[in-house]
Amino acid sequence: MMGVGVGAPVLLLGLLVLTVHCARIPSTINSDILRLPGPPLGEDFSGDVWALLIAGSAGWGNYRHQADVLHAYQVLKRGGVKEENIIVMMQDDIAHNYMNPHPGKVYNKPNGQDVYEGVPLDYTGDAVNARNFLQVLAGKKAPKVIGSSGKILKSGPNDRVFVYYADHGAPGILGMPNGAFLYADQLLSVLTAKSEQGGFKDLVIYVEACESGSIFQGLLSDSLNIYATTASNAVESSWGTYCPGMAPSPPPEFNTCLGDLYSVAFLENSDKNDLTEETLLKQYELVKRRTSNNYTYNMGSHVLQFGSLSIDEEPVADYLGELNTGDGSGGLSASNELFADGGMGSVPQRDADLLHLYTAYQRAATPADKAAALAVLDAEIDRRRAVDDSVRSAVWGLLQQPAVLAQLQTKYAAANLLLPTQQLLGNSADAAQLQALIVEQFVSAPLPREPGLALVDDWDCLRAMVGAWEGQCGQLDQYGMQHTRTFSNLCNAGIPVDTLASAAASACTPAAPAA
């Protein structure tokens, strides 16, 4: 296996975190769209409000995603949305987790209210997967799942719909606690069909995930009456917040993050502000400011909007409930202290998964406990490094194949793309450094492509690439899923799927022990 070693996971102990720098992309895929006037604020409509909320993760280290979703339910319920119209999907392994210092309770902010109480969980455990989510969203037929409510999104042409997803993401995909990933084209296919079949008057979808801009970029038409916002653009992480050691920090008994930066921004805005007067556009602007840490993007991401932008002239209450009239505090405004120098502490989503392991090590009471906690943390870092090295080794193996190299030379003849030459196949230190740079082009960023296009031209190719990798190297988890960037690059370059399968087999097969 080639020891490229570039891009190993970074955890700077003492809560120093990796700041993700990335090129800013347009705030919408339809930057030249004419923003048509929306309806007057508070305009009556004859339909109902429906909501579908899903946390796509499991495990104590992902506490924050379920906390976000539970908080969203409380906002909708307080707003007067009918309970029978709210569908909640989550693993439900946090409230009664053995690590929970407050059994049966979940908090989304330091010293906040319990957001678990009273939430009817419609789909839990194994029932929370991509297939069931899409079936519930389509609203045509209830999934046959034992122990779940069977509720589906039965919205009609006069109804407004709010969809909220919180979890890990990666280029072109959203995570699920069980089964396969949710691919962007699958989500857009269901949303498009529901729109064309009169499944709603307007639909608003908020997505909290890394690279979540890739879910809608180049895919969501402005003609479907669908308005989407995402926590990040197509090439960057989203961020966890209310984490141990940060400001604000959770109570000392917690060793995990309580929320996500984009999510708590819109949820706490919804708690405080009069949503009958605040438009979706105003909320978007406030959330963007808070999530970017006052536009510094220092420990923050680029919140984006997509689709039918005229919808953002409507009041937020039309989707979160007309009884959400604020708590009298004035809400999040330009003068709010959360926008002061430095903003809120936050950590990239994938590093947040390590944070509770480091916190456990830091707080261990005895030398034996400390050694055990450090061993768990080191093992996870080593596992992540092995995933990264395997992907890079497979890419380098591909680049040494004459047929692949010829395909790339033809495809990117006009682009400034570094490709191997005979001089780079040696074992010198200079050659190794150049090899790492060449590989990194395929792993860490999109290959040259026209702006505004969807992540990949052929989504079936991307699914096949993921399948080929997992068939040789094991299932991609919430860390490894970021390598869909690599697989999408290979698809767009025209590299055959079976070629990756062969390279993956070599990269992931342990070397035979020396005789």
List Cβ neighbours of 297 (8 Å cut-off, separation of 6 or more). Answer: none
* CA dist list (Å): 168 to 50, 130, 158, 260, 464: 24, 13, 33, 11, 21
Q: How far apart are CA 91 and CA 224, in angstroms?
A: 31
Q: Are 275 and 317 in contact (CB under 8 A)?
A: yes
Q: Are 434 and 478 in contact (CB under 8 A)?
A: no
Give the residue ranges of DSSP H helices in 278-428.
280-291, 317-320, 349-363, 367-399, 402-411
Pairing mode of beta strands 160-166, 259-260: unpaired
Instruction: Using alpha carbons, select from 257, 293, 265, 236 the residue that is nearest to residue 15.
Output: 257
Write down the residue that tokens 């993050």 correspond to: 257
Active site residues: 168, 210
For residues 427, 431, 436, 442, the Cα torsion angle rounded to the nearest 10 degrees is -110
Instruction: Using alpha carbons, select from 284, 252, 283 the residue that is nearest to residue 102.
Output: 252
Quick count: other Cβ atoms within 10 Å of Cβ 96? 12
Q: How far apart are CA 48 and CA 112, in angstroms?
A: 30
Is 428 in a helix, a strand, or coil? Answer: coil
For the sheet containing 226-230, what is the strand order? 86-89, 49-55, 160-166, 202-208, 226-230, 304-307
Q: How far apart are CA 163 and CA 169, in angstroms?
A: 16
Q: How far apart are CA 386 and CA 230, in angstroms?
A: 30
Q: How far apart are CA 49 and CA 82, in angstroms?
A: 8
Q: Which residues pair with 304 in a beta bridge?
A: 230
Q: Are 243 and 256 in contact (CB under 8 A)?
A: yes
